[in-house]
Chain A
């Protein structure tokens, strides 16, 4: 149980385009979902926290107009990277919790912006 999926697993896009990443909790309803980015050989950096039906809470330094988060239901959250640039290339990972302390992570999405 507690499976989180992400789609797509890899995406390559041209600079200036927008990319949407989906995060789904497959066998549970997620109270809260989180979005992280991870650069090679570095730790996970929390970008934002989202609760279903409300606006996401962004971490300091994360541009909310660039990284749009929509938490449409208890099983789906999306991250849209708008007007992507090469510096946005990274590994994006979502996670979800069931209302307790444990976060369950998705498999990640590798974004490459050319």
Chain B
């Protein structure tokens, strides 16, 4: 059962444009929503994260928009650069358990290409 659905699968954007990646979740117990960036052959790196008590969070060129009623959240990359070309994963987790820790459920990933 895929609990976090991510779209699009791939995205091509021109330099300076806005990249938008969307995710939808099913489990209303999720209360933490991070985005990870992964370059080929490397581990994922945390970009930005949000909790359901706010509708938007911005860090530099990266913004998360969160719609609790629709159970959707999205990543916006402003002024996209060729160096942003990577795979992006959304994820979700619920309150950590004693043995489960911060167990993440990942989306399928979006391959972003920013053309110069």
Contact = CB atoms under 8 A, between A and B. Distances in A.
A46 B104 contact: yes
Interface string A85-114: 000000101010101111111111010000
| Chain A residues touching B, majority SS | strand
A57 B100 contact: yes
Contacts of B93: 101
B45 A49 contact: no
Interface residues of B, number: 24
B92 to A, nearest CB: 10
Most buried by A among B101, B102, B111: B101
Interface of B: 32, 34, 36, 41-46, 49, 89, 93, 96, 99-104, 106-109, 111
20 contacts: A34-B104, A41-B109, A43-B108, A44-B44, A44-B89, A44-B106, A49-B99, A49-B101, A49-B103, A97-B101, A97-B102, A100-B96, A100-B102, A101-B32, A101-B49, A103-B34, A104-B46, A105-B36, A107-B42, A107-B43
